[in-house]
Structure 1
Amino acid sequence: MARIGILGRTFAATWLVTATAWAQSAQIQGKLVDEQGGALPGVQISAIDEEKGVVARQVTSGTDGFFTLVALLRGRYTVRAEISGFKTLDRRGLVLDPGQVLDLGEIKLAVGALTETVDVVAVTPVVEIGTSQKSYTISDTQVRELSLNGRDFTSLLKTLPGVATNDTGFRLAFNSTEGFMVNGLRQSMNNVMLDGTPNTDTGANDGQYTQLSLDAVGEFKLQNSAFNAEFGRNAGVLITSTTRSGGQQFHGTLYGFRRDGKWDAAPFDSLTGAKVPLDYKQLGGNIGGWLPVPRLSNASNKKVFFFFNHESTRAERPLNAFLDVFHPDLLTGDFRRLLRFNADGTPVNIAGNSLNVGT
């Protein structure tokens, strides 16, 4: 019986003013116009993180009225447009996924006082027209609420079109993937990214250096065509995942998980019909919130946020092994079975013959 103990911790601190992770960041773009359709230069555009209540990015529209808010982390945002002589416009409820380019198209500002505000709520998802990539996003709610074999969040990729895997049984989820094959490509052609950094095992090219705890995953995304210029290395699909982040309030979770082999079916190739023993346990917890930092972050001006996750895994299950068993003739000193055979199946008799080197 093999016993395996795994201890995992995830800690992430985010300062919204200096957001990194470019390869996983999203952006919002659009064009500011007046009621007659003329371009509005010099408009101050702010991206406000609704969960954290801070301005994540701020730019000014160009002479042609266009603007681009770059390096935005996943989350829900409000885009605010302000300029003297026009009413302030708030576009709320914009949900960004990792690597997404959200094009708002033309945004019209109405003439009025700057203190007047026009609220626009994004009731339906905005169609992404900024890029031609084809992708699928799995949210953190789906990751945490759906029952997953081995608590491995990457197994949800099997629910997406064009994804196949040759692994259907239970396995421990750390430091590996299930060898996904997407659109007929080999599993060694996949790219795996974690918070903007490569997470692909460059040795075997089909696994991950670090596998996140199920409860530390923000969301993850599969891109299978028309990648942006920053992605490369492998010719296959891109699997990107992000960690969760803290917010204005402190929130935490304690959890426990156990799987017992008594509830499993016997393997189809079992000669005795006996079940495979298994005792799999995971215990952990997480907490997220804001951090006080002198001259930077305090209770009235929160700008530094953290998320901490601790998880331990203990598993007991038998491991398969293949052993070579010697033939009884070999144990008695009869090594004729090791000799080569003639075309008619009779063994080659080497007694008294001279053998050339390499024979």
Structure 2
Amino acid sequence: MIGRRIGWALFLCLSVSLALGQEFRGSLVGRVTDQTKGILPGATVTVMNQETNASANTVTNDQGNYRLPFLLPGTYKVSVEMTGFRRTETTIRMSVGTDVTLDLTLQVGEIDQTVTVTDSTPLISSSNADLGQVISNDYAQNAPVLLARNIMNRVTLTPGVTQNLGEDAYSSNAQTEFSISGGGSKRGGNEIVVDGIPNTVANAGGIALFTPSLDLVQEMKVHTTLFDASFGRSNGGAINITTRGGTNEYHGSVYDYKRWKALNANTWENNRLNLPKPGINYNQYGGVFGGPIWIPGLYNGKNRTFFLVSYEADADKRNIQFRGRVPTELERKGDFSQTLNLKGAGMVQIYDPWTTTGSGSNAKRTPFPDSKIPAERLSPIGLAVAHMYPLPTTPGTPRIAQFNSNATGP
């Protein structure tokens, strides 16, 4: 069975902010003024996450400006109050890795009077020129994108992004031959971050090391150009993913998505050539569950401590062709006298490492006669490993670095 992946993720969402390598949280900035546009130093600005009731506050400076950093993606109630003015409240949505500006106006009145703002201009970021797009979980879940339910397959929903898909892109944890080109950059020069942690395979062209399940992802922001230095390792695009956390309410979901060959339509090309439908039997299943940590009689984590558990597995029963270079019957015995060299212009030379003299570019070794390694020099462990490979299936004279085995299987 190929493409099978079982991923476990357990997240304890504490009220204490974690200092991570690259910032995935957002910041809220703005200015507080009165109705005449006069600045108001000393006003208290408070934000409260409506799912966890976690709150933070600050006081405006001498210029009436405020800044609230390290806000996790989510919906927040923002309130501002000051003696001699009515309390003002509004609701905003913070997205992953986004700095937004919200200017607030206070009206003269008693502080126990509240003005609720229900309609305002769209929030914008005036602190940077970052270009990109935020993809929410709802958008990613319902977008008409082919292939598996893989969050990395959704990057092409961002304008200016193209994608290179390999065979493994059909699985829920696509890694091999998977890269994007954002804003005209070279493929593979990308940075991928999950919850502020670098998630890019080193020296592998911007490939994701781990792909969280689609139901575990809260939001993803695809930065195409002009992003800040926190993504300085990338000369292409940057993908900033944040995962969901537990809330004050218990929530969960169970899913099973399956693609049956019997229900699939054949391709146009196969119909033209009178070929049968490709054998695709793909199944992706899992679940997510989270909420406050509660131990009866001992601890109630509501408003304080939360958990989230995610499980996902996929089974891909397609018949896929494999090609490779395997040792021949003679090569298993240390006999390379019938094996051609890399250019196919003669017998490959096998050198005796015990005869090495000199070092570096001046090193010299004596070849084994007829490229045959003596039986007493062969390692029993190496022989056992060599016999674990299948025999070649392609006829012809064996050659170094040339495929000689074809196999088809799930």
User: How high is the TM-score relative to the length of structure 2?
Assistant: 0.72
Q: Which is further off, 73-82 or 256-265?
A: 256-265
Work out whether 1:284 is the aligned partner of 2:281.
no
> Do the aligned partners of residues 264 and 109 (structure 1) sit closer, same or farther apart at CA in structure 2, a change above 3 Å counting?
same
Q: Would you say the 8 A contact 1:293–1:304 is kept in 2? A: no
Aligned residue among 96, 101, 104 for 1:103: 101
Instruction: Measure, in 2, the Cα distance between the counterparts of 1:7 and 1:37.
Output: 57
- Correspondence for 1:188: 188
> Do the aligned partners of residues 19 and 90 (structure 1) sit closer, same or farther apart at CA in structure 2, a change above 3 Å counting?
farther
Gaps of 5+ in 1: 327-332, 341-359
Q: Would you say the 8 A contact 2:151–2:211 is kept in 1? A: no
Gaps of 5+ in 2: 329-337, 347-410
- Correspondence for 2:308: 307
Tell me which amino acid in the other structure corresponds to 2:98.
Q
- Correspondence for 2:275: 273
Instruction: Measure, in 2, the Cα distance between the counterparts of 1:268 and 1:42.
Output: 70
Aligned pairs for 1:253-268 within 5 A: 253-262=253-262, 263-266=264-267, 268=269
Q: Would you say the 8 A contact 2:181–2:237 is kept in 1? A: no
Determine which structure has greater relative contact order: mean sequence separation of CA pairs < 8 Å that are 6+ residues apart, divided by chain length: 1
Q: Would you say the 8 A contact 1:175–1:209 is kept in 2? A: no
Tell me which amino acid in the other structure corresponds to 1:232.
G
Instruction: Measure, in 1, the Cα distance between the counterparts of 2:235 and 2:294.
Output: 44
Instruction: Measure, in 1, the Cα distance between the counterparts of 2:16 and 2:227.
Output: 27
Instruction: Measure, in 2, the Cα distance between the counterparts of 1:126 and 1:70.
Output: 16
> Do the aligned partners of residues 161 and 146 (structure 1) sit closer, same or farther apart at CA in structure 2, a change above 3 Å counting?
closer
Aligned pairs for 1:156-175 within 5 A: 156-167=154-165, 171-175=170-174
- Correspondence for 1:351: none
- Correspondence for 1:217: 217
Tell me which amino acid in the other structure corresponds to 2:288.
N
SS at match of 2:152: helix
> Do the aligned partners of residues 267 and 197 (structure 1) sit closer, same or farther apart at CA in structure 2, a change above 3 Å counting?
farther
- Correspondence for 2:31: 31
Q: Would you say the 8 A contact 1:266–1:273 is kept in 2? A: no
- Correspondence for 2:140: 143
> Do the aligned partners of residues 3 and 64 (structure 1) sit closer, same or farther apart at CA in structure 2, a change above 3 Å counting?
closer
Q: Would you say the 8 A contact 1:19–1:73 is kept in 2? A: no
- Deviation string 1:270-299 (CA, Å, 9 cap, x unpaired) is 9772333222212211112112489x9737
- Correspondence for 1:356: none
Instruction: Measure, in 2, the Cα distance between the counterparts of 1:315 and 1:308.
Output: 24
- Correspondence for 1:357: none
- Correspondence for 2:4: 5
> Do the aligned partners of residues 324 and 226 (structure 1) sit closer, same or farther apart at CA in structure 2, a change above 3 Å counting?
closer
- Structure 1 residue 339: Cα displacement: 5.0
- Deviation string 1:303-353 (CA, Å, 9 cap, x unpaired) is 222221111222222222336899xxxxxx9x9x9559xxxxxxxxxxxxx
Aligned residues: 326
- Structure 1 residue 8: Cα displacement: 0.8
- Deviation string 1:134-180 (CA, Å, 9 cap, x unpaired) is 11111110122235411112222223222222438762231527321
> Do the aligned partners of residues 272 and 119 (structure 1) sit closer, same or farther apart at CA in structure 2, a change above 3 Å counting?
same
> Do the aligned partners of residues 297 and 235 (structure 1) sit closer, same or farther apart at CA in structure 2, a change above 3 Å counting?
farther
* Identical columns (%): 25
Tell me which amino acid in the other structure corresponds to 2:282.
Y
- Deviation string 1:203-231 (CA, Å, 9 cap, x unpaired) is 31321111011111111111112112322
Q: Would you say the 8 A contact 2:52–2:247 is kept in 1? A: yes
